[in-house]
Amino acid sequence: RIKIAIPSANLSRVHPTMAGEQPKKPVGGAYGQFLAEKRPEFAKACVGKKASEVSKVAGEAWKKLSEKDKEPYQKKFEEAKVKFDKDMETFLAAGGVKEKGLRAQRSEKKAEKEGKKKKTKDANAPKKPAGGAYGVYLAENRDKIVASLPAGANKITDTAKKGSEQWKALSEEDKKPYQEKFEKKQAE
């Protein structure tokens, strides 16, 4: 007898359709129900116009409705919400996995593409010294520089200009202590 090994199907895998499709959450509230029901009418009225015109017309029509006329749409939305909750429970009980909606997935992908996922900064982390030796010099001499400025001068820009003029006038020997202080701060 010859034995032939036949690879068996991986039975541990669960086919994703076994739990069914994830139910869709009703959106838009009562207005969403109103729009879903009346969209064909509004689309006929807006033939040849931009797609956004349908939403504008629908919004105007919704505003004109009285609270009494809006009640059936609110009830439909609440019924749809209850049905969604029941369907979601059944879906999860059948082994389904709750996934993010299409809109959330799109915005995540977009943020990843643009590199906009910001790293969270530690609030307690020490701040890095900025400006090098010049920054140390300016921090120590800012009060003197501001006092020497004429009345009505812009404190920020004029202080920086005056400080840079003084810094450039210093010799390398005079700049050395500020460079050492900067390096010391950077090592901390």
CA–CA distance, 168 with 157 (Å, rounded to integer): 17
- Whole-number pLDDT of residue 119: 65
Q: Give the pLDDT band (50/70/90) at residue 107.
A: confident
Residue with tokens 């530690």: 122
21-44 pLDDT per residue, tens: 778 888 788 888 888 888 888 888
pLDDT at 153 over 60: yes
Phi, psi of 5, deg, nearest 5: -85, 120
Q: Give the pLDDT band (50/70/90) at residue 118.
A: low
120-131 pLDDT per residue, tens: 677 777 667 677
CA–CA distance, 37 with 109 (Å, rounded to integer): 32
pLDDT above 70: percentage of residues in the chain:
85
